[in-house]
Chain A
Amino acid sequence: MAIYLDHAATTPMLPAAIDSYSRQMIEVGNASSLHAQGRAVRKAVEESRELIARAAGCDASEIIFVASGTEANNLAIKGFFWANPSKKTIVVSTIEHHAVLDPVEWLEKHDGAKIIYAPVTSQGIVDLDALRLIVDENREDIALIAVMHSNNEIGTLQPISDVVAIAGDIPVHSDAVQSFGKVPFDFAGLGLTSATISAHKLGGPLGVGALILKRGLDITPLLHGGGQERDIRSSTVNAPGIISFATSVDQSLMNLRENFFRVENLADQLRLGIQKAVPESIINGRTGNNLPGIVNVTFPGTKNETLLVLLDMAGISASQGSACSAGVQRPSHVLLAMGISETSADATIRFSLGSTTTEAEITTVCDSIAAIAEKARV
């Protein structure tokens, strides 16, 4: 029996989303064509766009469909930087996902960008005082500020409204991949310039995401060849993916409150169970304002590489911060940014719960964790 506790990596598709995906797969027609089939597909795509826009608190025209969260982040970061050649500085929080950090670092290496990292507190929340100082000192040269809406490893929600207030008229991009569909997210209400959302994190299919980009703004495209999405993103529109994305959004939003409490209750049980079984374990990133279902735990004296192997052998799927391209586990940059030592970061894993998680599964994990942590203490 496999216990899947890696929902933050990707979560099973919701049955309704599978259904709408497969129904659209049967249909023919390119949404850009003027004939009847094309029009029918276009109509379904636009209805999906409107539904997702309502859910995200933005205008339908502000949704640019792309193939992944990573693409949306790349598009926003490179797009803003290239569209505004007089400004060279990009401000990012130290706990961003690699889909934000890597394009920024690429621009530094290849395109003369200057990066300023905004530090976080020991709780994993962007340090607003430090950010204010950075912005005040560099205001004229800042092309973009990027702060994620919630962190994927520790689940902390970030004070985006405050970031936007500090930024003033500097564009603010927020990676909301982990948040959208799990906690309230209101693009316009937050005053963001752009944001990233992705379907597969909330029960939709892989290979679809969106960049939400404030109306009237032009950024430099990454892909050229047809201009299907607001002339900012080219590619034949992925109709089944988008329509299924909309279904998953609809379902997630409808059940947001219920899901939040169900998943967070199970997460609480898991935290309690782990602390009881392994008293020296440390739960990271609890601020009282978190995503549901993220349980980030340090097991002192262990190596997460070993923990994950033992858990996998016991049929429990968890994960760790990140791995390099060759597959080597690396100490999490998020934990290091919070001031946690490399040794502790190396002893830390993440369980992430989701729609399919059951109480019985949590009980099994709590029952086996003591022996696994003991064995991993080498």
Chain B
Amino acid sequence: MKIVAAMSGGVDSAVATARMAEAGHEVIGVHLALSSNPQKYRSGARGCCTIEDSHDARRAADMIGIPFYIWDMAEEFHDGVVENFIEEYANGRTPNPCLRCNEKIKFAAVLERAKGLGFDAVATGHYAQMRETQDGRTMHRAVDPGKDQSYVLAVLNKEQLDGALFPLGDTVKDDVRIEAKKRGLYVANKPDSHDICFIPSGNNAGWLRDRLGSESGPIVDEDGTKVGEHKGAYTYTIGQRRGLNLSIPTEGGTPRYVLKIEPKSNTVVVGAKEALAVSHIEGEKAIWCGPQPEAGKTHRGFAQIRAHGAPLPCDYRSDGANIVADLDEPLLGLATGQGLVIYDGDRVVGSATVSATE
């Protein structure tokens, strides 16, 4: 196969690339420049936008012995991921930018360009497994439960997944580091990247405040009584308890949590922990990673609502475009805009964007 290996400069993508090259594929390494000004989004070597990272990726490609190029995806990244992130927050939702990046950049813009150049697939260092089954090619959780990234890949449709390779899905992270060392890849000990790659400080609220302003507004309880003041509704997350600075305590002194963010009225609603409980989740814009579940019928499976959240047993049904999941046990705190991913055992069925909860 002719493969484009997306190399971030980290250990995972370096080992994934090395495995593809070693397997005899014709491989080129590509580092995605996601910011037109590397200093604009982040500084320091924790993510995937810096001079150091592009250098590390280049050195890894040298050591593997493959050609290496930088592809400028800054515009696509800004329009498709960063703008979307800001917009979602402005609408009172809580987006996951890694999902959008996989959906719009890595397995869309990159895959498209790769195919245009005559390549068959894009390989990344994501932890997930693709399997050939009687239902076609399906995606499954990685063997390393701590690293499993199938959640952030569940936004890929079948066609995109057919052009995707995840060579690390069968390996635990510690072994990947050992393998990197054995292969002489000097990124072997590079720390994992966390946080949001375009917010270098890790201060998401401050970053959003710079872009969305900090118009203050009321914090109210469930009956609409004002109990405090906030400085920008979008800096709060559902389920948040600390930092609310409420002026009026509850009668019993029980803590209150953020239940809802209403961007139109610029209001944050707080209430008791019990009110956070969600057992009915509705999602829109469904994407199917493999065979689509029979419409109208109720199926057993698991719902996951965070990248490293627990799989929650549920009944789910779909009309093809939307997914509705009813959890066996309620969960606490779920914001609209988050990704709902449905699993059948370890197989990823598909995903949807949470639009309503009860």
CB within 8 Å of B: which residues of A? Answer: 305-306, 308-310, 312-313, 323-329, 375, 378
Contact A329 B70 (CB under 8 A): yes
Answer yes or no: B51 CB below 8 A from chain A CBs.
yes
CB contact between B67 and one of A306, A312, A324, A328 (< 8 Å): that residue: A312
When C-beta atoms are compared, the residue in chain A nearest to B69 turns out to be A309
Nearest Cβ distance between residue A242 and chain B, in whole angstroms? 32
Answer yes or no: B38 CB below 8 A from chain A CBs.
yes
Contact A310 B117 (CB under 8 A): yes
Answer yes or no: B111 CB below 8 A from chain A CBs.
no
**Chain B residue contacts of A326, Cβ below 8 A:** 33, 38, 50-51, 54, 70
9 inter-chain pairs at a CB distance below 8 angstroms, sorted by A residue, are A306-B116, A306-B117, A309-B117, A310-B117, A324-B38, A325-B38, A326-B70, A327-B70, A378-B113
Q: Which of B28, B33, B51, B118 has the most chain A CB atoms closer than 10 A to its own CB?
A: B33
Contact B54 A375 (CB under 8 A): no
Nearest Cβ distance between residue B59 and chain A, in whole angstroms? 12
Contact pattern, B 241-254, Cβ under 8 Å of A = 1, otherwise 0: 00000000000000
When C-beta atoms are compared, the residue in chain A nearest to B74 turns out to be A328
**Chain A residue contacts of B274, Cβ below 8 A:** none
**Chain A residue contacts of B256, Cβ below 8 A:** none
Give the number of residue pairs across the A-B interface with Cβ within 8 Å: 45
**Chain B residue contacts of A323, Cβ below 8 A:** 70
Answer yes or no: B72 CB below 8 A from chain A CBs.
yes
When C-beta atoms are compared, the residue in chain B nearest to A324 turns out to be B38
**Chain B residue contacts of A375, Cβ below 8 A:** 116-118
Known contacts A310-B117, A327-B31, A327-B54, A305 near B67 by CB under 8 Å: no
Q: How far is the CA of A313 from the CA of B29 in the complex (A)?
A: 12
Contact pattern, B 167-210, Cβ under 8 Å of A = 1, otherwise 0: 00000000000000000000000000000000000000000000
**Chain A residue contacts of B141, Cβ below 8 A:** none
Closest 6 CB pairs of A and B: A327-B70, A328-B33, A326-B54, A326-B51, A378-B116, A328-B72
Nearest Cβ distance between residue A37 and chain B, in whole angstroms? 40
Known contacts A310-B117, A328-B33, A375-B116, A305 near B51 by CB under 8 Å: no
Q: How far is the CA of A323 from the CA of B112 in the complex (A)?
A: 23
Nearest Cβ distance between residue B85 and chain A, in whole angstroms? 22
- Residues 15-33 (chain B) with a chain A CB within 8 angstroms: 28, 31, 33
Q: Which of A310, A323, A327, A375 has the most chain B CB atoms closer than 10 A to its own CB?
A: A327
Contact B118 A305 (CB under 8 A): no
- Interface SS of B by simple majority: mixed
CB within 8 Å of A: which residues of B? Answer: 28, 31, 33, 36, 38, 50-51, 54, 58, 67, 69-72, 74, 112-113, 116-118
Nearest Cβ distance between residue A320 and chain B, in whole angstroms? 12
Q: How far is the CA of A325 from the CA of B54 in the complex (A)?
A: 9
Q: How far is the CA of A324 from the CA of B70 in the complex (A)?
A: 11
Q: How far is the CA of A329 from the CA of B67 in the complex (A)?
A: 16
Q: How far is the CA of A324 from the CA of B39 in the complex (A)?
A: 12
Q: How far is the CA of A324 from the CA of B35 in the complex (A)?
A: 12
Q: How far is the CA of A81 from the CA of B28 in the complex (A)?
A: 46
**Chain B residue contacts of A310, Cβ below 8 A:** 117
When C-beta atoms are compared, the residue in chain A nearest to B67 turns out to be A312
Q: How far is the CA of A209 from the CA of B63 in the complex (A)?
A: 32
Q: Which of B38, B50, B67, B69 has the most chain A CB atoms closer than 10 A to its own CB?
A: B69
**Chain B residue contacts of A313, Cβ below 8 A:** 28, 67, 117
CB contact between A328 and one of B70, B112, B118 (< 8 Å): that residue: B70
**Chain A residue contacts of B113, Cβ below 8 A:** 306, 378
Q: Which of A306, A323, A324 has the most chain B CB atoms closer than 10 A to its own CB?
A: A324
When C-beta atoms are compared, the residue in chain A nearest to B33 turns out to be A328
Nearest Cβ distance between residue A305 and chain B, in whole angstroms? 6
**Chain B residue contacts of A305, Cβ below 8 A:** 69-72
Q: How far is the CA of A325 from the CA of B38 in the complex (A)?
A: 9
Q: How far is the CA of A325 from the CA of B67 in the complex (A)?
A: 19
Nearest Cβ distance between residue B315 and chain A, in whole angstroms? 45
**Chain B residue contacts of A329, Cβ below 8 A:** 70, 72
Q: How far is the CA of A370 from the CA of B280 in the complex (A)?
A: 58
Q: How far is the CA of A322 from the CA of B69 in the complex (A)?
A: 14
When C-beta atoms are compared, the residue in chain A nearest to B26 turns out to be A313
Nearest Cβ distance between residue B272 and chain A, in whole angstroms? 50
Nearest Cβ distance between residue B221 and chain A, in whole angstroms? 49
Q: How far is the CA of A282 from the CA of B72 in the complex (A)?
A: 24
When C-beta atoms are compared, the residue in chain A nearest to B36 turns out to be A328
**Chain A residue contacts of B28, Cβ below 8 A:** 309, 313
9 additional contacts (CB under 8 A) given A306-B117, A375-B117: A305-B70, A305-B71, A306-B116, A309-B69, A312-B67, A327-B58, A375-B116, A375-B118, A378-B112
Nearest Cβ distance between residue B253 and chain A, in whole angstroms? 53
Q: How far is the CA of A269 from the CA of B36 in the complex (A)?
A: 37
Contact B74 A325 (CB under 8 A): no
Nearest Cβ distance between residue A134 and chain B, in whole angstroms? 30
Nearest Cβ distance between residue A330 and chain B, in whole angstroms? 9
When C-beta atoms are compared, the residue in chain B nearest to A377 turns out to be B116
Q: How far is the CA of A291 from the CA of B28 in the complex (A)?
A: 35
Q: How far is the CA of A215 from the CA of B121 in the complex (A)?
A: 62
Q: How far is the CA of A325 from the CA of B50 in the complex (A)?
A: 10
Q: How far is the CA of A309 from the CA of B66 in the complex (A)?
A: 13
Q: How far is the CA of A11 from the CA of B38 in the complex (A)?
A: 31
Q: Which of A325, A326, A378 has the most chain B CB atoms closer than 10 A to its own CB?
A: A326
When C-beta atoms are compared, the residue in chain A nearest to B50 turns out to be A326
Nearest Cβ distance between residue B210 and chain A, in whole angstroms? 23
Nearest Cβ distance between residue B39 and chain A, in whole angstroms? 10
Q: How far is the CA of A121 from the CA of B36 in the complex (A)?
A: 29
Q: How far is the CA of A146 from the CA of B64 in the complex (A)?
A: 44
Q: Which of A310, A313, A323 has the most chain B CB atoms closer than 10 A to its own CB?
A: A313
Q: How far is the CA of A328 from the CA of B70 in the complex (A)?
A: 6
Nearest Cβ distance between residue A331 and chain B, in whole angstroms? 11
Q: How far is the CA of A323 from the CA of B50 in the complex (A)?
A: 14
Known contacts A305-B71, A305-B72, A309-B69, A325 near B116 by CB under 8 Å: no
